[in-house]
Amino acid sequence: MSTNTQNPKSLGNRVGSVQCDNTTLHLLKANDYVANAIRERLKDVCIINVCSSPGSGKTTLLQEIGKRLGKELNISVLVGDPETERDAVRMREVGINALQIVTGGMCHIEAQMILQALDHINLDGTDLLFIENVGNLLCPSAFDLGEDYRVTLIATTEGDDKPKKYPRMFLTSELMLVSKSDLLPYVPFSIEAVTKDAREVNPNLEVQTISTLNGEGIDEWCQWLKEKVQLKKEAAQQK
């Protein structure tokens, strides 16, 4: 039996089909509303949304930042994963205030998850809040989480062609971190090529090269973070 009650020819549909609205845009509008509520709630906290493919080194990098900046900044982390609390445990092991967001198989974090998590983590005095997104270069790019900055890692082990394959992620990021630079002598990865592709997608994208193994670029990123925290505090004081 046809689901169309009108003349199917007038709708341009085949008999037995139904024309559906694209609900994605409605979902994203609702997500943006919640993201703005998060910004309003955390006016004086600098929020960094950290994205990447699985295995790029996000958790290890945030552990290193906790070790280096823990005495200068009050850092908290919301960690997103489909299952387990392992990454949040790793954060706590280095003294970072952390809460795991278990997405239950979802390939990204949505703003409503962050809003719910805020009721379960003490952010009093927090200067810098990291959101460690689910490892995925596709789905997370569409969801604003109330962040001030989006930082995307691309590891030298995953190839230098990702910016053109997943352009929206790089288009919506302020900074690209090329991680695992210590492996450059051993892998077919070009810093010049990945930077060129990324900036063709987003001409304003900043690029830094880092390694948590030998420390390359970590001081520079720490300085970048401290500058962004200071900018957020100054903006909050002006309101």
Average pLDDT of the chain to the nearest whole number: 89
pLDDT attached to residue 13: 46
Q: What is the pLDDT of residues 103-154, one digit of tens each?
A: 777 778 999 999 999 999 999 999 999 999 999 999 999 999 999 999 999 9
- Give domain status of residue 7, yes or no: no
- Give domain status of residue 239, yes or no: no
Q: What is the pLDDT of residues 175-217, one digit of tens each?
A: 999 999 999 999 999 999 999 999 999 999 999 999 999 999 9
Number of domain units in the chain: 1
**Exposed/middle/buried for 229, CB within 10 Å: 0-12, 13-18, 19+?**
buried
CATH of the domain at 137: 3.40.50.300
Give me the percent of the chain exceeding a pLDDT of 70: 89
Mean of pLDDT values over 228-236: 95
Using DSSP, state whether 76 is helix, strand or coil: strand
Residue span of the structural domain in which 182 resides: 24-233
- Give domain status of residue 13, yes or no: no
- Give domain status of residue 122, yes or no: yes
- Rounded-to-5 percentages of helix, strand, coil across the chain: 45, 15, 40
- Give domain status of residue 157, yes or no: yes
Nearest-angstrom CA–CA distance, 50 and 22: 28
| pLDDT tops 80 at residue 17 | no
Cα 126 off chain centre by: 19
- Give domain status of residue 15, yes or no: no
